[in-house]
Chains A and B, each alone.
Chain A
């Protein structure tokens, strides 16, 4: 198998046109926050297109799972990190060369860039041979890069680079500065005068001393005097600098394209693993989900909202995990219960899990089986748009209509509190109509609603409720559990808490 890409199993899977635009549902599911956070600090790799494009094939997903599992080996992870670190340093050197004016400065920075590249590649080859690799992606890459370093092109590049570096660092010269002249000549083993002076006064040493050394700003560029000195030095050592000239001409295209692409693509895995690493440390679980494009009996244990979890951990707050499963004919979760109880979070979690699974990443939870959907739709309540002349209700309906038109039986729809801007009677009617369509399509759906009746529309719906601590209803557990959509008990407990029950009010209102 010839190596093409660490992200895509087959060449035809490669993204033809990388998009910088996030899918529509990103904001609703807080995936925008997640991807922003994951890629923050790594802009130079332009990783977002990889996170914006789902795979539509379980083999392609499992290809990434394998690579990701290999990278869960700390040693390999660190090896790849240090490779990337060196490649970044290399690019830094090139950028520096670009910015400078004097030719022997530019050329030296270029030489450093190539040297760093050679070190990066060599280091990676050695590192990879010492690691037990399992993924077909990494195995193919290892073969590729091992052959590359043995190639004549690379070995001669390496040899020339080393020789030039050694020659240059061996150069030592002297400056005699007097009045307005500088004499430049080779160094002739004159003794270190500072050390001599220091020795003379050694006897007075009384422990730690103040540091009188002046820090000189160390800009990479030179002033014209330094540049002139450098050109004199070049004349003192003409052969070495001739070699440097030739080298820079010859080695312009030193960088291997496949390795360059690998350096970028592998970052997809690194940044994701790094991101979830923090959460794992806080005790949260991640797993590689089973993926199927047939079976809709999905489940997940101890899942959570990735964006929310990150925030909670930062503030040292506990993260509540939730389970879900759909069995047999079950297709639709209808989530009801008290506000601020984690309903929306649950809906988001369901969406995030499926999306992350679709790009080949491990997902929150101890264990999961997820569905390989074709399209994902969300409908979350939006701020009313003043410019839009249609009313909010009409907006909602138009949006739902579009979704239902595009959805297939393999799609996923996530709805959060729709039809809140109308009367209860209307809301019930419309919701039932939409729900019937969804049930008819037999697609997977999460519907967060205050209309409990929706939960019992058909055998395909499952009722989930957000729960509270019985003794203190003001305390949320953020647990979403299967249970009857029954708002009554909850209302009573809240009333008790505010001392507004029948008995309480009688007591409080003194006759």
Chain B
């Protein structure tokens, strides 16, 4: 039995390693704000959100598979939260038993696994009841398969059969074990046998039964004072039930891991629900994005905002409309504090959210999926290290180049500005030209006029230039518009703004 709510054909791996660029992404896109809003203080939800968002999907079908499941969740939030709570209950109640503790005696192992299985049977029945009551409210392929599976696998007959085993394994009529003579004629190959109940022999006539050759039976009694004999006896019994205790415990483990998996996979959607409800409170719109193949070049959206900024300001913020379809390079220049960084972050966040199957913070959004997302941001100078700032930047760049593949996306924010403009421009020019030739999609926020304008002069069809806008009165709109790179970044405005000397 599998949940398969994250992938159609496999489990979601919470323990697997995160991509190596996780730290830079988390820092540059302020992802923890996003995770926190999804987790609402729950460590487990945080963990799952982080894992899911950072290990994005490269497969269109799977993205849509999750989108549909998420839509079901948004339509049935209370049912989803109920199921999620049931999975937690199973894990909590298991913790109160002795199951899973190290034990040297198969009989104790068997006993504790019977206890825990009894609990699990309860919980499975609850799941089954939910499936019976609400399955018809779900439209997505993922949930339809999930509920069908619950109904099929957890029928009344099955529960009866399990119950029967759990009773039988208490061995009220003694333990029947077969054995052979092993090394040195010691008993070996102990196998637990199911006694042939008298009821099974109905066909046998009473005549046959009377004349059946009676097999000799010998009986050994262990006297009550014979302690070592009693020990030997229970060891013999333990050898007999060793395998069944193992089978039963493993079954309990498997059911537990089913619950764990179900909990983990639902946790992602519960996180999405939390975020969705939060954004609704703020009044920010969300929409399901339209992903297209990685080989295409698409980036068009309306009202795209930086979800993390909205969450931390707890208010509606300015969104951007851009059409960058067919573009490999988007170069962003313009006024300081004009919303360039916020814009760049919203690009990265939307991409990550889309590629893990979530809704995106925009009125509408479509982009090509990317193989991998990298960020290269200007960093505060690290005083503990000897290597110069440019050295450090280029070091990080080199790490990225080690890992990047065609059809990945790379976000640059004020990179290579740690030297004079001419050198920085030349470095940037060489790097970006090479990346573009290797089919890497690039968003570049920069003040390097020579670099930016150099590309502008080439008049390439696959390049888009955006500029942080400034009204004629010097105030920023925080909206970006198409436009040629300009020589200054309106530092004067900033100066004036701060010093209050402006017009």
Binds B, one of A230-238, A278-286, A353-361: A230-238
B162 at the interface (CB under 8 A from A): yes
- Inter-chain contact B248/A180, CB cutoff 8 Å: no
Are A108 and B185 neighbours in the complex by a CB distance under 8 Å?
yes
Indicate if the CB atoms of A214 and B242 lie closer than 8 Å.
yes
Given the known interface contacts A175-B236, A188-B215, A230-B187, the answer about A210 and B181 at a Cβ–Cβ threshold of 8 Å is no
Closest to A107 in B: B185
Contact status of A185 and B247, CB under 8 A, knowing A180-B233, A192-B192, A200-B165: no
Q: B291 interface residue, CB < 8 Å from A?
A: no
Let me know if B251 and A204 touch, CB within 8 A.
yes
Closest chain B CB from A194 CB (angstroms) = 4
Near A by CB (< 8 A), chain B positions 171-192 give: 173-181, 183-187, 191-192
Are A225's CB and B184's CB within 8 A?
A: no
- Which of under 10, 10 to 19, 20 to 34, or 35 or more describes the interface residues of A? 35 or more
CA A72 to CA B230, docked complex, whole Å: 58
Contact assessment for B185 and A105 in the assembled complex, using a CB-CB cutoff below 8 Å: yes
Q: Give which listed residue, A109, A176, A191, A230, contacts B194 with CB less than 8 A.
A: A191
Contact A190 B105 (CB under 8 A): no
Interface flag for A222 (CB, 8 Å): yes
Binds B, one of A164-172, A301-309, A393-401, A476-484: A164-172
Contact of B220 among A171, A203, A214, A232 (CB under 8 A): A232
Assuming the contacts A175-B177, A232-B220, asked whether A182 and B233 have C-beta atoms less than 8 A apart, the reply is yes
A200-B162, A206-B261, A223-B232 known; A181+B220 contact, CB < 8 A: yes
Complex: how many Å from CA A203 to CA B250? 12
- Total CB contacts across the A-B interface at under 8 A: 207
Instruction: Decide yes or no whether B338 CB sits under 8 A from chain A.
Output: no
- Give Cα A406 to B397, complex, Å: 85
Complex CA distance for A188 and B184, rounded to whole angstroms: 24
Residues in B neighbouring A194, C-beta threshold 8 A: 191-192, 243-244, 246-247
A383 at the interface (CB under 8 A from B): no
A172→B177 CA distance, assembly (Å): 11
A-chain residues with CB within 8 Å of residue B191 when the two chains form the complex: 192, 194
Q: Does B253 contact A (CB under 8 A)?
A: yes
Cβ contact within 8 Å between B228 and A223:
yes
| A85 nearest CB across to chain B (Å) | 18
Please, which residue of chain B has its CB at the minimum distance from the CB of A185? Answer: B217
Is B196 located at the chain interface by the 8 A CB criterion?
A: yes
Q: Report if A294 contacts B (CB, 8 A).
A: no
Given A206-B261, A209-B250, A212-B250; A177-B240 close (CB under 8 Å): yes
- For B300-322 the 0/1 string (1 means CB < 8 A from A) is 00000000000000000000000
Residue of B nearest to A184 (CB): B218
In the complex the two chains form, what is the Cα distance from A233 to B162 in whole Å? 35
- The residues of B that contact A188 with a CB separation of less than 8 Å are 196, 215
Q: Mark B239-283, 1 if CB is under 8 A from A, else 0.
A: 110111111111101110110010000000000000000000000
Assembled-state Cα–Cα distance A198/B1 (Å): 15
Q: Does A104 contact B (CB under 8 A)?
A: yes
Known: A205-B254, A228-B220, A230-B185. A175 touches B244 (CB 8 A): no
List residues of chain B with CB within 8 A of the CB of A187: 178
Q: Which of B184, B193, B221, B223 has the most CB of A within 10 A?
A: B184
User: Is A213 a contact partner of B178 (Cβ separation < 8 A)?
Assistant: no
Is B500 among interface residues, defined by CB-CB distance under 8 A?
Answer: no
A204 B255 Cβ-Cβ under 8 A? yes
> Which chain A residues (384-439) contact chain B, with CB distance < 8 Å?
none
* Distance of A229 Cα from B220 Cα, bound (Å): 8
Q: In the complex, what residue of chain A is closest to B194 when comparing beta carbons? A: A193
The docked-state distance in angstroms from the alpha carbon of A229 to that of B183 is 15
Residue of B nearest to A192 (CB): B191
Do residues A109 and B218 form an inter-chain contact, with CB atoms below 8 A?
no
> Which of A168, A173, A192 sits near B179, CB closer than 8 Å?
A173
Taking the closest CB of chain A, its distance from the CB of B168, in whole angstroms, is 8
Q: Name the residue among B1, B223, B230 with the largest chain A CB count within 10 angstroms.
A: B1
Contact with A along B100-130 (1 / 0, CB 8 A): 0001111001000100000000000000000
Q: Is the CB of A225 within 8 A of B224?
A: no
A186 within 8 A of B: yes
B106 and A186 contacting across the interface, CB-CB below 8 Å: no
CA distance A209 to B258 in the complex (A): 12
Does B254 lie within 8 Å of A176, measured CB to CB? no
- Report the Cα distance A434→B218, complex, angstroms: 89
**How many angstroms between the C-alpha atoms of A200 and B187 in the bound complex?**
29
Interface: B41 (CB within 8 A): no
Note all chain B residues with C-beta closer than 8 A to A235: 216, 218
Report the separation of the CA atoms of residues A172 and B188 in the bound assembly, to the nearest whole angstrom: 10
Bound complex: CA A169 to CA B229 (Å) = 27
Interface: A491 (CB within 8 A):
no
Whether A236 contacts B218 by the Cβ 8 Å rule is yes
Q: Which of A105, A205, A220, A235 has the most CB of B within 10 A?
A: A205
Known contacts A194-B243, A200-B161, A214-B238: A209-B185 contact under CB 8 Å? no
Task: Say yes or no: B258 contacts A224, CB within 8 Å.
Answer: no
Tell yes or no: B381 within 8 A of A by CB: no
A213 touches B242 (CB 8 A): yes
State how many angstroms separate the Cβ of B272 from the closest Cβ of chain A. Answer: 25
Docked complex: A52-107 residues within 8 A CB-CB of B: 96, 100, 104-105, 107
Residues of A within 8 A of B106 (CB): 213-214
| A192 cross-chain contacts in B, Cβ below 8 A | 191-194
Decide if B219 is an interface residue (CB 8 Å cutoff): yes
B104–A214 touching, CB < 8 Å: yes
A216 contacts the other chain (CB 8 A)? yes
- A196 at interface, CB cutoff 8 A: yes
- Give the contacting residue for A190; candidates B2, B176, B229, B257; CB below 8 A: B176
Give the residue name and chain of the A residue nearest to B237 (CB): A177
Min Cβ gap A332→B in Å is 64
Q: Which of A100, A169, A180, A201 meets B230, CB within 8 Å? A: A180
- Chain B residues whose CB sits within 8 angstroms of the CB of A200 once the complex forms: 161-162, 165, 251
Q: Does B169 contact A (CB under 8 A)?
A: yes
Most chain B CB inside 10 Å of its own CB: which residue of A180, A228, A230, A235: A180
Q: Which residue of A lies closest to B196 (CB)?
A: A190
Cα A203 to Cα B159 with chains together (Å): 13
State whether B220 touches A197 (Cβ < 8 A). Answer: no
Measured between beta carbons, the chain B residues less than 8 angstroms from A105 are 184-186
**Which chain A residues lie closer than 8 Å to B103 at the CB level?**
214
Do the beta carbons of B233 and A213 come within 8 Å of each other?
no
Q: Is A174 an interface residue (CB 8 A)?
A: yes
Task: Given A173-B179, A213-B246, A224-B228, decide whether A190 and B233 contact each other with a Cβ distance below 8 A.
Answer: no
A16, CB-defined interface residue at 8 Å: no
Q: Cβ of B179 and Cβ of A209 under 8 Å apart? A: no
Q: How far is the CA of A232 from the CA of B113 in the complex (A)?
A: 34
Most buried by A among B185, B223, B237: B185
Task: Report how far A194 CA is from B221 CA in the complex, Å.
Answer: 27
If the complex has contacts A191-B193, A220-B184, A229-B220, are A172 and B229 also in contact, measured as CB distance less than 8 A?
A: no
Given A176-B175, A230-B181: 10 more A-B contacts, CB < 8 Å: A104-B185, A175-B177, A176-B177, A188-B215, A192-B192, A194-B192, A209-B253, A216-B242, A226-B186, A228-B220
Which 3 A-B pairs have CB atoms at the shortest separation, nearest pair first? A178-B174, A201-B251, A225-B232
Q: List 20 interface pairs A-B (beta carbons < 8 Å), by A numbering.
A: A107-B185, A173-B178, A175-B179, A180-B222, A181-B219, A182-B236, A184-B220, A185-B216, A201-B162, A203-B1, A204-B1, A212-B249, A213-B106, A214-B242, A216-B238, A223-B232, A224-B228, A226-B232, A229-B236, A236-B218
Chain A residues engaging chain B, CB cutoff 8 angstroms: 96, 100, 104-105, 107-109, 112, 168-169, 171-188, 190-194, 196-198, 200-201, 203-206, 209-214, 216, 220, 222-226, 228-230, 232-233, 235-236
